[in-house]
Amino acid sequence: MKFTETAIAGVWLIDLEPLTDERGFFARTFCADEFAAHGLDPTVAQCNVSLTSEAGSIRGLHYQVAPAAETKLVRVVRGANHDVAVDLRPCSTTYRRHVAVELSAENRRAMYVPADFAHGFQTLVADTEVEYQMGAPYTPGTDRGLRYDDPALAIPWPRPVTTISQKDRTWPLLTR
């Protein structure tokens, strides 16, 4: 795996290093030792999958707070999305800034989202399927969210929004 840190400390892109032969290729998508060697928490407590039917749909921006703050390793296995991580660490020099990247079945790239970051995405094509490896299990009462259209975040989504859940549409706005 090839690890590339983004402009926001703690958020990493992980690209495959495939071994190819006449059959196709083989590649590791996760190795606890390699994650730990890059200072990333290798804990996997839960795995999730989402399928989003309509292009332009938004899921997020979601996070959990302590004691259930979670890391996420996010990979698109079918389709493509515009994936976003927002820094919510109050003492960070990049507080409330975001990093965005295209994740797709074609590029096979993953994004590591550390704890204390909100995560969300917009589908770029219909029937996009996303797999998540979570560092903590879902814990009712610790889940939170940010509005995708919050002016304090100023996230430029690449497509008009087609579908978003009622819950994600009604998270409170941040105060500036």
Distance CA 101, CA 148 (A): 16
Whether residue 119 lies in the annotated active site:
no
62 included as an active-site residue: yes
Helices (H) and strands (E) in the chain, counts: 2, 13
User: Residue 130 in contact with residue 50, Cβ under 8 Å?
Assistant: yes
With a CB cutoff of 8 Å and minimum separation 6, the contacts of 151 are: 173
Residue from 62, 63, 112, 119 carrying the catalytic annotation:
62
Choose, from 63, 132, 138, 148, the residue flagged as catalytic.
132
Cβ partners under 8 Å of residue 132, min gap 6: 47, 48, 49, 50, 72, 73, 74
The residues annotated with a catalytic role in the active site are 62, 132
